[in-house]
Structure formats: structure tokens, C-alpha cells
Structure 1
Amino acid sequence: MGEEGKWVRKASRNEVSMDSLNESETLLVVYKMSFSARRPVQTQEVEQALRHLYRKTPNLRVCLTDKDGEKWFKEVDEKMIDFEVSAVGVEEVTEFLHTHSYPKDAILWRARLVPVATPCYHPQHLSSFHTDLQGTFPHCYHLVFGFSHAIGDGHTFIRICAAFSHILDSVLSGKEVDTKQIGCFDLNEEYESKIEEIKKRLLKDEVWREECIRELNEGKPESSILQHVLSPCEDRPKKTLLHTQTLDKAATTRLVEKCRAAKVTLSSCMAAVCNMALVDLLVEKGVVQDTYTVSNMHMINMRRTWPKETTEHAFGWYISSSFRQFFVTPRTVDGDEFWQYTREIHSKFYSFLQDEQFMEKAAFVKWCYSTGNRQIFKRDLSFNTRGNLTQRFEGTKEITVTNLLSSTSIHNSTIPWNDIVGTVRGRLSHTTKYNTSMVTKATALQYSDLVYARLLKITAP
């Protein structure tokens, strides 16, 4: 490449922070794209598709290195692409990507192809592959990407995975792949400057900080319900593990229709379902009360504050989390009461998003993390909702993407677990991600099963 090795730009404070966390095996990103193919996919075809992806995606062409005492992004040669066909299963590959950071001056992503010799289709809610494709798309694979959060967030990586699926399809079809860039890795300096300006004001404005803290603690109970769920153990191996369950297409359609009728988002509905499942878990563990106070946080794409025409192709790290919110949750909620409870969650969360001081509050979140005040954000459940990704993967001929699951490593953090939700091919998946040093496998799977049971109940015909 003619521009190989050029300096791209100085890394932002957030990007440097993400790189530092990644070095300690924290928040290392994994995306598992499951797909079925008409014919066997050859290693060289995947390699060719990855080279095209590298050429079309600016943040996949960089490393993070030192320049004059500062961290800068610099382009690297495509020979540094880290790709292998894995001889082990997808769980082992995911664990590897969750525990291996990216060396200095090295490319900031990896890819592993995991062929599935004998695809499992049953039970369908635990399968990555779909029975309706078994005859025409019999060859099944996982393409597992590892990413550094220094080069992107969920908005970024979803678009990269979708682009790869179309590139691979073109390669398999013998079609030419163009060189059009699929994203822009320029820093949004106006946004970054505004956030930094607000953070500086926060350092001086003690009254405003106290107001934010009061809002964060509004409704906070004397003790967290998680003390009845967590089982911290220093001797237990530290791992980030995942358990995913998927609704079928008909149930997902019914769920979406019920959300529309109730005038709530699927994200708010899933928060309500998970809160109820956590209460069910507490009851099964012998903690029986009339009501429980459950705290929630949501991940937020900060591009929502930008002009719409600038957001789609803006690659990089532009996420924040909502303020912690507390919800009084009855032990028994069914029928119309469930949707009334969901509307309460929806109203409170979207009031935060529409607050005229939303940017200031987002900056306060960043200020708290950067100054070590993370205890303010301890919560029972946190949610990362990817939305409906079906359309992004449509239009391919030689492959069909059946699921896209994402996770970040939390085993070296104080985060016990979180919930990840997304829809591909009209099927909604819920993933419980958990930190084994704080949550036992039995408890995590018990909670996940209770979430799925709640979903089946509210989507019953």
C-alpha cells in the first residue's frame, strides 16, 4: 500500500483509556458471527475476504503506538492480519479472545474461523443455526472477531461484521469487491471538546455534582438485592462466560407486536423481563418479599446527539451509560400489570435520554469513571441492546448469517454480569454474560432460564 505506515491521528483520552483497560484483559471485545453456507468455505476465501475488509475499513488498518510521548494511531501492513482456522471449539476461541490483549504496534483485531462439523439444531433456542436452512445451507461456521475497544464500539463492530458477511458472499460468488470505505475513523473533535469542557466544569461545580449523585441514588434501598445472588470466590478461576437463548421467529414477532401495542421499546420490555427474572431468582433462593428494588443501567450510543447524516459511518468509541435507575418490582406481575411496569421503565429511561441536560449527565458518567468514583454506578442489572440487525445481513446468496453475538471481558472487573439483547433473521437472542469469580455457573444459567421462561409466558399465542 502506498500509504502504509502513515500516522493517522492522535488517540483520544477515551481511546487511550480503553487500550489501557484491554491490557489488563478488561473490556476486550468479541463478536461471534454464525453463518450457514451452500458449499464448504475454503480458508483462502476467508483470508481474501478479510484482506478486502482490511482495505475497506480504516480502523482495521491501524495500531496504537507512541509518538512524542503521546498515543497515536498508525497504519500497519495487511500482512499483520491475525487470522487462523481454529482447531478448538467456539467457547475456547471466545475465552482466548477475552484473555489476550493486543501487543504494542500490532493490529487491534483478530479473526478465527470455527468450522462446525456436526451442526446441532435442537433444541432450537440453544442452537446458533436454523433448521429451515439445513437443506440448502448445510455447511455451518462461526467467524469470531476479537476487537480492541480503542478502535470502536458496538455501533462500529456491528457494521464491520455486516460488511464482512457481504464481502465473503461476494468472494464465494466470484464477484468483484469494490474499495469503497465502509466507515470513517476521523475523531469527532467537536463532540470530544464538548465532553471535556463539561468535565472540567464538573471539577469546579460541587453543587452540580451533588445534584447528579442525588439523582443517581434516588430510590436506592439500604442494601442491594445482589448480595443474595453473588458468590464471590477468589479461588474460583476468573472467566467471562456466556449463555444464550433465542426465541423462534413467531414468538419474536408476537413480542414486537405486543411492545408496539403497549407503546414501549423492545429494550424497555427486556429490562422489565430481566428485572422480573431476577425477582424470580431471589424467590427461588428463599428471599421472599412483597416487593424488591432493582437497579438498572443501559449502554447508550452517544451519536444520538449528533446530526443524523454524520452518525451511520462514524466509527470509533462513542458510548456511555445511563444513570442508575431504581424500580420497585412486585414479586408477582402478570398480564396488564407487566405492561404497566414496562411502561414505567420506558418512561423513566427515555426521560433521561430526552433530558435537556443529557450531555452534561453523560459527561458526569465519564467523569465518575475517570476519577475512580465507580461505586456510584453499582447496579443489579445492565443492558446492552443491539436492536434488530436482520436487514444488515440480508441480500447474501452463498451464505446466511444466523446470529451475531457480542461480549466484552469482565472477569478482571467488579462487574458481576450483564444482559445482551439483539435480533437476527427475525429471532431475538438474550445472552447472560457473567463473571465466574462473582457468579456461579448454576446461578447464571438459572437466571437465564428464568428470563427465557418469562419471555415464553408473555409471547404465548
Structure 2
Amino acid sequence: METEVKWLWKTTQTESFYEIYTISYQLTLATREPLLEEHLLQTLNHLFRKLPPLRACYGERDGERWLREMTEIGLDFEVVSGATTQEVHKRLQSYSYNMNKGPLWCVKLLSEPPSSPEIPAGTDMEQFCHVYTLFLGLHHVITDGSSNMKICGFLVQILDAVMGKRAIDTVEQLGVFVSDERIQQLQRERVAAMEADLELRRRVVDEIQSRDGKCSLVKSTFKGVGEKVPRTGMLEKTLDAESTMAFIKRCRSEGVTVNSAFTALASVAIVDLLVDGGLVQETYNIRSDHVLNARRYWGGDTSRYLGCHILPLMPTVAKTPQKIDGKFWDFARSVHQGLQKKVNEGAPLLAEAAKHFMLANPDFDATFEYDFCVSNVGDVTSLVTEGGDRVQALHVIRTSALHAAPCTWTLLVHTFRGRLILALTYNSAFVNSQMAKKFCDGIFRHLQGVL
């Protein structure tokens, strides 16, 4: 008897945009007893049953592409030997998922323990003496940063229960998988607002049109430095707990968010690169794009909503001096004001709505070429959890594939267990590994200098 297909919804605009992106997360776990394959397989079976996005794949319905539930349990789990973490990330960033059968996610376990794992303060490593590196690969169409951190947390909690031989509810669902209908409703509301407010419409349309013909200073300054076959490169840097706390406290005292300050630091580090590349000016218009969680505009409790709920990228331009001369926090406040204004008014929603009022012009390109992109999901400790009696979560890193997109690099930032973590992913077609290292090191050098 053929299993009845559970159709979810027609492919959304958000899902279509993120179809070229794959994601890889790296979890460092410590356990009291040795972690066995059967522990992980039990855990992944529970995850599959309890998390709706992990059961999703695609199918054709009445000539259209729809998201649907898989008709049978399907797990993609593998123990990997003799590979570095970088090699596993590289594999996951180009991973081929069976879109029409599923699953659209996979898990890889390194058979060798990490040589020098990040250990949070207060972790009893004598009790939790078995350390492992686990990789979670996902297709971006079914999930986003917020959902992924929750999935990591559910994995940690279920694995802790499995290893502790505690009962697990096999029916309870750990979230609600929803389409981007709420985003589309917000877009319709913004279109209506622009129909009623001609000045608002003019301002937003003018801003979009002002991008025409302007490009990334990084791309225009550094030509021919990339590789012919693009790949996604990655650097990871973790700020120690003491410096992280000092940075957070300083941001608060200066009246800026950690995100704004980090964006300002990245802008200053980009200027250093440009100067090294021979572009010497008093000030530079540094262009950055920002990933926003659409749930912030939904209202009410959104904590259970899973899926890919990211707004179109939010562009901003920071007039950055070549020499900061002890005035970094003044600059950071100017960056903060610009970012907050855009966030508060829902700038990405306005920009999408404005397209309804722009006359078709085949020669106009509204693409915003940025010098860097920022994706900051904040403090994820409560989402990933620190673990339990049997399993401790020590560290988490997230990356996103860039080599299929015309991007330079993305700063993936979060804080976990008191430490700020950066994964700098870059597209090797536009920047090389030496530039990426200079950029990454420059951010943290300036950070230490402004504490």
C-alpha cells in the first residue's frame, strides 16, 4: 500500500533564494562514557521523529515544486576517519542532498578525538574525559541560524538522555515548521504603507537606485587574487572568556550593541586591507550586508517556529576613516545608529516592497556589492545548552557555503558559554587565504586595542 504524501507548502521565495547554500555546524562534545555509534543513531532517530524540518524534502505537485514530508525514515550518518575538521567542512559545504527523497541533512562523527579542544571554564574534564567532534550538515532551504542552534541543543539533550538511559517521549514535537507566509504578509503591509506614503516610497526607491554602478572596494582593489575554481574557505577564532566579558561590558558602557561594535571593527580591518592593497584615502565607504532573523518582526512568542526565516540582506554603508586615532567608539556609535535605524524600520522589508513601484529598467542593477557580510545570532548558550549529566557541549562553530554566490566573505558570529566565536567564511574566487587571515587577525587586534 502506497504511503500517502503529506504536502507542506509550495516552494517559497525565501527557500528559492537559499537553494544554493549549504550549512555545516561543528559541535565539540565531552561525555562521561565512550560515545558509541548506537547512541548517536538512537539520538538521530529521535531527532528525525521530533523535528519536522528534518523530515522535509521536495516533490512535484500539479506541475509545481512543493515541500513535503519524507515517506520513510532516512538518516545520513557516517563515522569519518583520517580527516581534518577543515576537510569535513569543505565536504559539507559542497554536499549533495537528494532533494526529492531526503534527508536534507546529515551527521558526521570524527573517529579521532580533537587534539586541543576548546574547554569552557568550569568544565570537569576528569569526569567528562571522552571528547568528540560532531558535524551537522544541513541544506539552507529547511533551516536558518536560529533553528540550527536549537537543533544542536535538541541533539545534545536527547543524546544526554540516551546515554543516561532515560525515557524519551517519542510523539512530542520540538517545534513548528512554518513557511515564510508571515514574511510575505509583512511585505504586503509595507507595499500598502508605501501606497499611502509617497515620501516613504521616494526615500526607499532613491536609496536602492543610489547603489547603481557602485561596487565593493575589496573587489575593485584586489583583482586577480582569487582561484579559478571557487571554493569556500574558513577561518575560526575564539575570544577568551575574560576578553569577551570585557568587550561586552565596554560595548554597554559606550551605548552600542556587540553586533554594531563588531561591524565597526570589521570596517576598520577592511580599511587596513585596502591600504595594504594600495588604496590610500582619508575615508572609505565600507559596504556591509546584514542577515536579519525575520521572527523579530512577527510579534508574540516565536521560539517554536522552525525553518528558513531570513529577510533579504540589509545593506549599510559606513564612512570609515583610515586612521581611527583613539576615536573608535565614536565611530562605533555612528555605525550603531545607522544599523539600529534600519533594523527598527524593517529596512529589508521596505526595500523588497519598493520593487513594486520601480519602473522596469533592464540596465539597472540593484545588487548591493558588499565588502563583508555579518550574520550574528547572539548568545546561543541557552539554545545549544551546556549539556547534562552525561554529555557536555564544549564548543560550537557554524559555517555557510559561499562559493556558489558572488560574495567575498561572511562573518558568522555568536557567543557560547561566555566566549565570542567567529567563523570567517570566504569565497576563494575573490579573496585568498592570506587576505582572509589578515582580515580576521585585524578584527581581533583592533578589538583588543579598544578594550
Common fold, TM-score beyond 0.5?
Answer: yes
CA deviation after TM superposition for structure 1 residue 89, in Å: 2.6
The CA deviation at 1:410 is 1.2
Measured against aligned partners, the alpha-carbon deviations of 1:230-274 in whole angstroms (never above 9, x if no partner) come to: 444675332111101111101101111111111211100100111
CA spacing shift, 1:271–1:306, aligned 2, 3 Å: same
Q: Note the alpha carbon deviations across 1:298-331, whole angstroms, 9 max, x for none.
A: 111111111222x111112221145422111112
> 2:266 corresponds to which letter in structure 1?
C
Match runs of 1:335-414 below 5 Å: 335=326, 337-355=327-345, 359-364=349-354, 375-392=366-383, 393-414=385-406
**Structure 1 residue 219: deviation in Å?**
9.3
| CA offset digits 1:115-146 (Å, max 9, x no partner) | 4435225xxxxxx4458644333322222111
C-alpha distance 219-291 of structure 1, shift in aligned 2 (>3 A):
farther
Q: Tell which deviates more after alignment, 136-145 or 341-350.
A: 136-145
User: Of 64, 68, 75, which aligns to 2:62?
Assistant: 68
Supply the distance in 2 between the matched residues of 1:385 and 1:3 (Cα, whole angstroms). Answer: 44
Alignment of 1:253-264 (within 5 A): 253-264=245-256
Cα deviation digits, residues 348-385 of structure 1 (max 9, x gap): 111112227763335458999xx997653111111000
Where does structure 1 lack aligned partners over 5 or more consecutive residues?
122-127
> How far apart are 1:65 and its partner, in Å?
0.9
Whether the 8 Å contact between 2:26 and 2:134 is mirrored in structure 1 is yes
CA distance in 2, matches of 1:364, 1:40: 56
Which range moves more in the overlay, 93-102 or 129-138? 129-138
State the number of aligned residues: 442
Q: Match for 1:111 among 65, 89, 107?
A: 107
1:38 matched to 2:38? no
What corresponds to 1:96 in structure 2?
91
**TM score, norm. by length of structure 1:** 0.86
Change (3 A) 1:356 1:45: closer
Worse-superposed segment, 173-182 or 427-436: 173-182
SS of aligned partner of 1:308:
coil
Letter in 2 for 1:270: F
Q: Is the 2:226–2:432 Cα contact (8 Å) retained in structure 1?
A: no
Aligned letter for 2:173?
Answer: Q
| Counterparts of 1:367 and 1:433, CA distance in 2 | 35
Give the secondary structure class of the aligned counterpart of 2:442.
Answer: helix
How far apart are residue 275 of structure 1 and its match? 0.7
Query: Does the CA-based 8 Å contact 1:113-1:141 persist in structure 2?
Result: yes
Q: Deviation at 1:428?
A: 0.2
Aligned partner of 1:124 in structure 2 is none
Structure 2 matches for 1:128-207, cutoff 5 A? 128-130=118-120, 133=123, 134-178=125-169, 179-187=171-179, 189-195=181-187
Equivalent-residue separation in structure 1 for 2:10 and 2:357 (angstroms): 18
Distance (whole Å) between structure 1 residues aligned to residue 238 and residue 69 of structure 2: 39
CA distance 1:401–1:230, change in 2 (3 Å): farther
Deviation of residue 390 (structure 1)? 1.6
Of 165-174 and 247-256, more deviation after overlay is shown by: 165-174
User: For residue 51 of structure 1, what is the aligned residue in structure 2?
Assistant: 45
| Structure 2 residue 419 is the aligned partner of structure 1 residue 415 | no
Per the normalisation by structure 2, the TM-score is 0.88
RMSD across aligned C-alpha pairs, in angstroms? 3.2
Task: Indicate whether 1:331 and 2:322 are aligned.
Answer: yes
Structure 1 equivalent of residue 206 of structure 2: 214
* Partner Cα separation in structure 1 for residue 128 and residue 223 of structure 2: 43
- Residues 457 and 56 (structure 1 numbering): CA distance in 2 closer, same or farther, change over 3 Å? same
Structure 2 Cα separation of the partners of residues 157 and 242 of structure 1: 19
Judged with a 3 Å threshold, the aligned counterparts in structure 2 of structure 1 residues 118 and 421 are, in CA distance, closer, same or farther, namely closer
Cα pair distance change 1:116/1:343, threshold 3 Å: farther
- Distance (Å, rounded) in 1 between the aligned partners of 2:78 and 2:295: 34
- DSSP 3-state at the match of 2:367: helix
**Structure 2: 5+ residue stretches without partners:** none
CA distance in 1, matches of 2:425, 2:264: 18
Deviation at 1:424, TM superposition (A): 0.7
Task: Tell me the distance in 1 between the aligned counterparts of 2:75 and 2:243.
Answer: 40
Q: Tell me, what secondary structure is at the counterpart of 1:379?
A: coil
Deviation per residue, 1:426-447 (Å, 9 max, x gap): 0001221101111111111111
Secondary structure at 1:307's aligned position in 2?
coil
| Residue pair 1:56, 1:180 contacting (<8 A) in 2 also | yes
2:163 alignment partner, SS class = helix
CA distance in 2, matches of 1:96, 1:47: 21
For residue 231 of structure 2, what is the aligned residue in structure 1? 239
Specify which of 273, 284, 287 is matched with residue 292 of structure 1: 284
Summarize the Cα distance change of 1:200–1:28 in structure 2 as closer, same or farther, 3 Å threshold.
Answer: farther
The 1-side partners of 2:367 and 2:266 are apart by: 22
Distance in 2, matches of 1:225 and 1:11, equals 39
The 3-state SS of whatever aligns with 2:262 is: helix
> Secondary structure in 2 aligned to 1:31?
strand
